[in-house]
Chain A
Amino acid sequence: MTIGVVVFPGSNCDRDVRWATEGCLGMKTRFLWHETTDLGGLDSIVLPGGFSYGDYLRCGAIARFAPLMSSLIDFVKSGGKVLGICNGFQILTEIGLLPGALTRNQKLNFICRDVSLKVTSSRTNWLNGYNHGEHISLPIAHGEGRFQCSLNTLNQLKENDSIALQYTDGNPNGSIENIAGITNSEGNIFGLMPHPERACDSMTGGIDGKRILEALIGTN
């Protein structure tokens, strides 16, 4: 059971994810340089937070052309699990593996703080570790985390039970329907703006993120 963490130039949460999965949760993890196309032997892949390729043009817009990406699409098609955190979520929407788009926060400033979230879907095993409707706390740290999509897409997301996490107790970035994280219709891809890897180590704060990362090695 091995987890792969993609390293783009400009990724900056790659080591944090590995510290959480390997250091805190004891799950075998290796880094995947953005130029590699060999995704053999992996159970799941994490696209970590950061500023891939400097987030030039638009967040995630250049990362979608990385050599690794075509292999990632094959990996997804064969049912492999992919978790996109923050910039990773932005990349997944850019490449079309998840619907919608992440735009500049409504109040424009970058925001770093803990937020309250509600677990709103138990369809996939990504959030099986939580009770449906459970309130959890995770940190956010982004300037462009406002989830936006068409009304059609929104209805589709609702129909598919794909809205996985919603902000409660205030909407930090102006996301539609307070959306903080979504899954694809097949359920093997999960993208979210909050950072579960920053909530796995009791020494630095809460541990509500553990159960999301633990789901990297479960089956769907």
Chain B
Amino acid sequence: MIESPLFAVDYDVPLALSEEGLKETDYSEICRRLNRAPNRTELGMFGVMWSEHCCYRNSRSLLKGFPTSGPRILVGPGENAGVVDLGNGQRLAFKIESHNHPSALEPFQGAATGVGGILRDIFTMGARPIALLNALRFGPLEIESNIGLIQGVVAGIAHYGNCVGVPTVGGEVSFDKSYSGNPLVNAMSLGLMETDEIVCSGAKGVGYPVIYVGSTTGRDGMGGASFASAELTKSSLDDRPAVQVGDPFLEKGLIEACLEAFKSGDVIAAQDMGAAGLTCSCSEMAAKGGLGIELDLDLVPARESGMTPYEFLLSESQERMLFIVKPNHEKKVMDRFTRWGLNAAVVGRVLKDNVVRVLHKGKIVANLPASALAEDTPVNFHELMQDIPDNIKDHWDWDESQLPKASTEGIVPINGELSDKQISWNKILLKMLDNPTIASKAWVYRQYDYQVQGNTIISPGLADAAIIRLRPQQEYISTSLNNRGIAAVVDCPNRWVYLDPERGGLAAVAEAARNLSCVGAKPLAVTDNLNFSSPEDPIGYWKLALACRGISKACTTLETPVTGGNVSLYNETRLLDGSIQPIHPTPVIGMVGLIEDLNKICSQAWLSEGDQVLLLGVPFDNELNLDSRVSLSASSYLEYIHDLITGRPPEVDLALEVKIQTFLRKAIRQGLVSSAHDVSDGGLAVSLAESCISSSMGVNIDLPVNDLRVDRLLFAEGGARIIISISPEKHAMFYSLLNEFNSELTDPISTISIGHVNSTSKLMIKQAESIFINLSISELDEKFNYALSRRIDKDQLVDDFQGTIN
């Protein structure tokens, strides 16, 4: 063997451990596994591979509780993306991933490379990316720096997604002060499999060549994975080199060349280089295949000279992949990449022994058992506190009796701006619609090309979920397959999770499924992005654990297994006074659903004058017997009108969700429903207003007489509620379906007729003789559609184009 610098332990161990984010116990474990001390390069490799980002060292035991299998699941957690069987020979790969920390420091590139990374996870499997969604969280737009962040993040997503030619079709954006300084950028992608076999990452074939393709390796993004697994401080800005720079043009070529190469059958295994770059791809491929990989760094295409092995191995340069290919097919594979202007080089071979061996200038610079790096990685044990934290208990003590008296005209806000005088329900509704979390996100999605590829069935903002036609991209003849679609959504009620992590976790899954059901899609599977603060804080860990418990329960009951996802911890900011501000715990649920017939779908927009409006879900209750599944606790109304984030979120009734959603899908499938929209942020009144704005049609709502507070009637959240409209001609068939459905239930579902769609261009909500809301659609529209541009482009003239919806 060549003389090696392997045994050179020429570094300050405590300093190196702190640089790599490793603990002393990790170091002794590494020495035990290697039977020697690691050299500095090897220690760096352990640092990234043992970070939360790569090995879930804090969350693995919690993730184990998720249901991960089901009749449609072809690939569950562990590979680059999950894959579900759509029937008819079609298979869908999908996954969500966060890029929170990079986006906090360099919003444009941080968000752009987040998109690039999630796309690579999809096409590495042999799937062509067909859609992107994103879940974004920012601090309030009243703070100038948050405006810069949203502008940068949205422009970065637009830059990458638009150029690479994958439509960004949906997502969610919300605002809370806990995200000031630590925004969340979660990107989800869906892809339709184009190869017969799903391309996996496990190494095969001793002696087979290892090929590197894509962009060159540089010093950018050094140690991004370890950096992503630490809290953000002012000095984090010094870590800017840890943020990578993306090139969507190279990625577009990479997609085409990879899919061509995979279809040729010459590629045995593939792994993209994301977090921890070459280190991660080599060790994952070796560990999963039970074989080894030898990598010669002198053969790796480099963009800078004089790079050290450490820099090569930990670089997070973008748009790179590693393949294992059939012997003697190297040139054929590489030619496909050079044709697209990409680099391709043989950089190593598959070894019989289960090691990752790295050569540099003729010497072995790292030689590690692959399993030591990538498998049996250490777990941080956290004790789950058994008691509910005191401040949560205090929140739960809040109830509606603490609100001032609500009259038929309005209410005096508790902590609101106009605390001395009553404001009307009209004004309150307008204020809710003007809140950036509730308001139209047109300012965001108009910057995304949501139409490229020609399969976007519903434009963003018009329905509860995005819908993409399942037309294979390389076929140009109309077939029956073209009538099927996939619906997708991302969702997280972070205020609820903050106030009750378990109910919040349940609600995130239930609402995602409800959104899919509202467009007529059957929910299939979930990818989750757990954005939390430090698990080392017992309350932080308690939140993570309980949210996971909620997600597990809901995914089990709703039969939507989790096929993978991402965990992002340490989302917190150190404030100037030295205190730590954790984000609202934010487990984002990405869910996909199948639509068998694209002619049978629903949007949220009213369709025809005269259609009857119905409320499905928990019916109106009464003051003496309040239903715990519906509440003003933890509601948007409480936060945006009374300036209170408090109360216990309503109970989530999963059995009711299943019933309501199943019935709604049946009714939509039979063509009996004109529109469907779930009741979520802002309650009944906001949902009704959104359906009016989307359609420019009015509605006259006559609520049943009861003794409930007016604000509870208008703004309460929860209860698996959905507002649908049906045409008079379908009335008889609808009720016959309902009766048939209910006849098989011991506890039938409730539908209450609450009004009719009309041509008045007005939203009118009344109860007997009392009119609560009477607003023209143009007044609603003005608040709802301009809320973001008013705050972001405040010095510019308001774009008269922002207001109209296609």
Which residues of chain B have C-beta atoms less than 8 A from A203's C-beta? 457, 469, 482, 598
Question: Is B653 positioned at the interface, with any CB of A under 8 Å from its CB?
Answer: no
Give the complex CA separation of A170 and B803 in angstroms: 12
B473 in contact with A15 (CB, 8 Å): yes
Residue in contact with A112 in the complex, picked from B163, B447, B474, B598, CB distance below 8 Å: B447
Residue in contact with A170 in the complex, picked from B250, B452, B800, CB distance below 8 Å: B800
Which residues of chain B have C-beta atoms less than 8 A from A111's C-beta? 446-447, 801
Which residues of chain B have C-beta atoms less than 8 A from A109's C-beta? 155, 158, 446-447
Residue in contact with A141 in the complex, picked from B155, B451, B478, CB distance below 8 Å: B451
9-residue interface stretch from A51-59, A118-126, A157-165, A183-191: A51-59
A9 in contact with B249 (CB, 8 Å): yes
Question: Is A214 positioned at the interface, with any CB of B under 8 Å from its CB?
Answer: no
Question: Is A43 positioned at the interface, with any CB of B under 8 Å from its CB?
Answer: no
Residue in contact with B341 in the complex, picked from A9, A112, A198, A201, CB distance below 8 Å: A9
Give the complex CA separation of A20 and B454 in angstroms: 9
Task: List CB contacts (< 8 Å) of A163-188 with chain B.
Answer: 170, 172
Which residues of chain B have C-beta atoms less than 8 A from A201's C-beta? 454
B454 in contact with A16 (CB, 8 Å): yes
Cβ of B805 to closest chain A Cβ, rounded Å? 9
Which residues of chain A have C-beta atoms less than 8 A from B155's C-beta? 109-110
Most buried by A among B249, B253, B340, B799: B249
A112 in contact with B801 (CB, 8 Å): no
Question: Is A81 positioned at the interface, with any CB of B under 8 Å from its CB?
Answer: no
Task: List CB contacts (< 8 Å) of A20-39 with chain B.
Answer: 20, 22-24, 29
The verdict on A107 contacting B796 (CB below 8 Å), with A12-B164, A16-B453, A23-B478 known, is yes
Q: In the complex, how many residues of chain A place their beta carbon closer than 8 angstroms to a beta carbon of chain B? A: 39
Which residues of chain B have C-beta atoms less than 8 A from A53's C-beta? 249
Q: Is the interface of A mostly helix, strand, loop or mixed?
A: mixed
Give the complex CA separation of A139 and B451 in angstroms: 9
Task: List CB contacts (< 8 Å) of A74-109 with chain B.
Answer: 107, 109
Cβ of B605 to closest chain A Cβ, rounded Å? 14
Question: Is A10 positioned at the interface, with any CB of B under 8 Å from its CB?
Answer: yes
Give the complex CA separation of A204 and B450 in angstroms: 11
Most buried by A among B165, B247, B449: B449
Give the complex CA separation of A9 and B254 in angstroms: 10
Question: Is A210 positioned at the interface, with any CB of B under 8 Å from its CB?
Answer: no
Residue in contact with A110 in the complex, picked from B162, B164, B341, B456, CB distance below 8 Å: B162
A9 in contact with B454 (CB, 8 Å): no
Cβ of A99 to closest chain B Cβ, rounded Å? 27
The verdict on A113 contacting B801 (CB below 8 Å), with A16-B453, A56-B249 known, is yes
B449 in contact with A110 (CB, 8 Å): yes
The verdict on A10 contacting B447 (CB below 8 Å), with A54-B163, A141-B452, A198-B454 known, is no
Which residues of chain A have C-beta atoms less than 8 A from B477's C-beta? 22-23
Question: Is A197 positioned at the interface, with any CB of B under 8 Å from its CB?
Answer: yes
Most buried by A among B454, B469, B796: B454
Question: Is A45 positioned at the interface, with any CB of B under 8 Å from its CB?
Answer: no
Cβ of B519 to closest chain A Cβ, rounded Å? 15
Give the complex CA separation of A13 and B164 in angstroms: 10
The verdict on A204 contacting B446 (CB below 8 Å), with A23-B477, A29-B476, A107-B796 known, is no
A198 in contact with B451 (CB, 8 Å): yes
Cβ of A110 to closest chain B Cβ, rounded Å? 5
Q: Is the interface of B mostly helix, strand, loop or mixed?
A: loop
Which residues of chain A have C-beta atoms less than 8 A from B617's C-beta? none
Chain B, residues 454-486, CB within 8 Å of chain A (1/0): the string is: 111101000000000101011111100010000
Give the complex CA separation of A20 and B162 in angstroms: 20
Q: In the complex, how many residues of chain B place their beta carbon closer than 8 angstroms to a beta carbon of chain A? A: 44
**CB-nearest residue of chain B to A200:** B454
**CB-nearest residue of chain A to B155:** A109
Task: List CB contacts (< 8 Å) of B417-458 with chain A.
Answer: 445-457
Which residues of chain A have C-beta atoms less than 8 A from B800's C-beta? 170
Cβ of A87 to closest chain B Cβ, rounded Å? 10
Which residues of chain A have C-beta atoms less than 8 A from B288's C-beta? none
Which residues of chain A have C-beta atoms less than 8 A from B163's C-beta? 10, 12, 50-51, 54-55
A172 in contact with B164 (CB, 8 Å): no
The verdict on A197 contacting B452 (CB below 8 Å), with A10-B249, A23-B477, A29-B476 known, is no
Give the complex CA separation of A203 and B485 in angstroms: 11
Cβ of B439 to closest chain A Cβ, rounded Å? 17
Cβ of A67 to closest chain B Cβ, rounded Å? 13
Question: Is B219 positioned at the interface, with any CB of A under 8 Å from its CB?
Answer: no
B473 in contact with A107 (CB, 8 Å): no
Question: Is B248 positioned at the interface, with any CB of A under 8 Å from its CB?
Answer: yes
Question: Is A195 positioned at the interface, with any CB of B under 8 Å from its CB?
Answer: yes
A112 in contact with B448 (CB, 8 Å): yes
Give the complex CA separation of A170 and B253 in angstroms: 36
B447 in contact with A12 (CB, 8 Å): no
Question: Is B252 positioned at the interface, with any CB of A under 8 Å from its CB?
Answer: yes
Question: Is B35 positioned at the interface, with any CB of A under 8 Å from its CB?
Answer: no
Question: Is A130 positioned at the interface, with any CB of B under 8 Å from its CB?
Answer: no
Question: Is A18 positioned at the interface, with any CB of B under 8 Å from its CB?
Answer: yes
A110 in contact with B455 (CB, 8 Å): no
Question: Is B386 positioned at the interface, with any CB of A under 8 Å from its CB?
Answer: no
Give the complex CA separation of A18 and B801 in angstroms: 30
A141 in contact with B162 (CB, 8 Å): yes
Residue in contact with A50 in the complex, picked from B158, B165, B247, CB distance below 8 Å: B165
A16 in contact with B452 (CB, 8 Å): yes
Which residues of chain B have C-beta atoms less than 8 A from A172's C-beta? 801
Give the complex CA separation of A55 and B448 in angstroms: 17
Give the complex CA separation of A51 and B448 in angstroms: 14
Residue in contact with A204 in the complex, picked from B448, B455, B796, CB distance below 8 Å: B455
**CB-nearest residue of chain A to B478:** A23
B450 in contact with A112 (CB, 8 Å): yes
Which residues of chain A have C-beta atoms less than 8 A from B451's C-beta? 112, 139, 141, 195, 198, 204
Give the complex CA separation of A207 and B551 in angstroms: 43
Give the complex CA separation of A24 and B471 in angstroms: 13
Most buried by A among B165, B471, B474: B165
Question: Is B806 positioned at the interface, with any CB of A under 8 Å from its CB?
Answer: yes
B165 in contact with A12 (CB, 8 Å): yes
Which residues of chain A have C-beta atoms less than 8 A from B598's C-beta? 203
Most buried by B among A29, A204, A205: A204
A113 in contact with B806 (CB, 8 Å): yes
B473 in contact with A54 (CB, 8 Å): no
Which residues of chain B have C-beta atoms less than 8 A from A112's C-beta? 162, 445-451
Cβ of B773 to closest chain A Cβ, rounded Å? 30
The verdict on A12 contacting B801 (CB below 8 Å), with A54-B163, A112-B451, A114-B806 known, is no
Which residues of chain A have C-beta atoms less than 8 A from B250's C-beta? 54
**CB-nearest residue of chain A to B477:** A23
The verdict on A9 contacting B158 (CB below 8 Å), with A15-B474, A29-B476 known, is no
Cβ of B795 to closest chain A Cβ, rounded Å? 12
Cβ of A48 to closest chain B Cβ, rounded Å? 10
Cβ of A206 to closest chain B Cβ, rounded Å? 9
A9 in contact with B446 (CB, 8 Å): no
Which residues of chain B have C-beta atoms less than 8 A from A18's C-beta? 476
Which residues of chain B have C-beta atoms less than 8 A from A51's C-beta? 162-163, 248-249, 252
Most buried by B among A18, A113, A201: A113
Give the complex CA separation of A53 and B253 in angstroms: 10
Give the complex CA separation of A53 and B451 in angstroms: 21
Give the complex CA separation of A51 and B482 in angstroms: 27
Most buried by B among A23, A110, A205: A110
Beyond the given pairs A15-B454, A49-B452, 6 more chain A to chain B contacts, judged by CB atoms under 8 angstroms and listed by A's residue number, are A9-B340, A50-B163, A112-B447, A114-B806, A141-B162, A143-B158
21 residue pairs A–B, Cβ–Cβ below 8 Å: A9-B249, A9-B341, A10-B163, A10-B252, A12-B452, A15-B474, A22-B477, A23-B475, A23-B476, A51-B163, A51-B248, A54-B247, A55-B249, A109-B155, A111-B801, A112-B445, A112-B448, A141-B451, A143-B158, A143-B162, A204-B457
B: residues with CB less than 8 A from A are 155, 158, 162-165, 247-250, 252-253, 340-341, 445-457, 459, 469, 471, 473-478, 482, 598, 793, 796, 799-801, 806
The 7 closest A-B pairs by CB, nearest first: A12-B165, A54-B249, A22-B476, A51-B163, A16-B454, A141-B449, A23-B476
